[in-house]
Structure 1
Amino acid sequence: MDTSLEAILEFSPYNSEDELKKRLRKLSSHKHYSGTTIVLFGLKRGRNGVLELDFESDPTDIRNPETHDASQETIQQQVKVLEYRQSLRRYCSILFKKPEMKIFIREKKVQGFLITGALMKRQTMMYKPKGKDKAAEIVFGYLPKKGAEVMEDDGMMFYHRNRLIKPYHKLGCQTKV
């Protein structure tokens, strides 16, 4: 048996090559078949029996519940949890600075959110660190608090080669709030 196939069978929910091939045939018949397919398995359940990921509250998303074990009073005392940390769909919508890739979650396309296009009073600057050949583009602006697309928090969004590295990073006076 091929080493790659052995690794797949060892670390996946599929017990045999035939079972894996059956699943791959089913995926290839899907209308959106291309790219990468992610299979989630071995999810843990909390003390109350709830899975660590929520597949039931939204049929088009995979959600991360705020908490499994805390009482309602504890939840209300917690700091607001950002939507991109609760929703895989929301996270994928801001994952790319220029969303060109098609992403489907539970057979529904994720609508990419072009953050730099939505900024008000946008200014672009080039920053070139001393001793480096390449400059980095820095885009400044703010998102209005009204409208259909309202971001949940403020801070710097760090992208590298179009991919989100660090969302909503606080700088300067934002760190003192």
Structure 2
Amino acid sequence: MGDNLKGIHHSAYRCRDAEETRAFYEDRLGLPLAAVVQEDHEPGTGTYNPFVHLFFRMADGNFIAFFDAPKSAGEFKPVHGFDRHVAFEAEDEATLLAWRDRLNAEGVPCFGPIDHGFVQSVYFYDPNGLPLEITTRVAAHDAILEEDARKARAMINAWTARKAREALGIAA
């Protein structure tokens, strides 16, 4: 059934300020502002909660989106990349390194590249504390993932057993 899901149209996050977020994604990252939806009431519930929903278009036609909803609760401080992050894909390693150098030159701390085997990545934060990654595939990307897919279920089973042993205080 999942084979009829052709991709991610957009991923959406909260932002603390629409203009600050627009400037970062459009002016700094070069993603054009494609749409803004402004509403006074939440869809579905009708709750009064004025917001704007911003959509930035990526080269593949998909979007990253943000809600500026001042009446909604939430803090805007950096979160760990394990909790959530967005990974953009660059064409090649030269482009990846150019992004890292550009962001650092513009005062956006960006570190890496980190070698993950199948990709190389650099990391930084947006103004809302959302961890961002720019990644590029290595030449053997598809072959590496194909091999990993053959072992994936066994690895999850082993990981689940390890967590259960550790929860019981049994050495791994």
Larger radius of gyration: 1
Name whichever structure is richer in strand by fraction: 2
Name whichever structure is richer in helix by fraction: 2
